[in-house]
Amino acid sequence: MDQEQLKIWTRAVVDLTGWDRIMYGSEFPVALWRDETFRSTQGWIDQVGLTPAPAEREKFFYGNAHRLFFARPRPARLIDSKWERSDWKTDAPVWLSQKKGVDLPEESHRRLMRAYLAKGGDTGVGSYRDFVTVMIVDMTNRL
């Protein structure tokens, strides 16, 4: 996205709402396909020139979501059946990387992703691309 437009837009959002009313959300796991890490996706607020104080940063990345979704216990209940749309789901290939990638069956991709997350994700083994590359190299060495 054009960084100048993003700077203007994000500054306006912060100015209108304040740090108490916005929260971070990621495109995880889509960011992994762009060879980004979860941690690197959090750096965008600095890249666009926002300068939250430590307390504001904590609210944005954690505190606001915790307050809104987890601070008060809420009884668990089933979602109304009218919102149940798993009957619409179709299996589809998942591309392993963004450009000229390899399409994998959804279940194969799920197994790779679970293995990556089980080893700690970006903080444990580095980027998703590097993790998959090592797995492929190891597999070819066994052939």
Residue 58 is part of which domain span? 3-70
**How far apart (Å, rounded) are the C-alpha atoms in residues 40 and 126?**
11
- 43: in domain: yes
CA distance 138 to 132: 10
Q: Are 22 and 13 in contact (CB under 8 A)?
A: yes
Task: Give the pLDDT confidence score for residue 108 in this predicted structure.
Answer: 87
Number of domains in the chain: 2
Reduced to 3 states (helix: H, G, I; strand: E, B; else coil), residue 64 is helix
Assessment of whether the complete model's pTM goes beyond 0.85: no
Distance separating alpha carbons of residues 124 and 143, to the nearest angstrom: 27
pLDDT digits (tens, 9 = 90+) for 88-118: 888 777 766 666 677 788 888 889 989 999 9
Task: Judge if 48 and 104 occupy the same domain.
Answer: no
Q: What's the rounded Cα separation, in Å, for the pair 83 and 137? A: 43
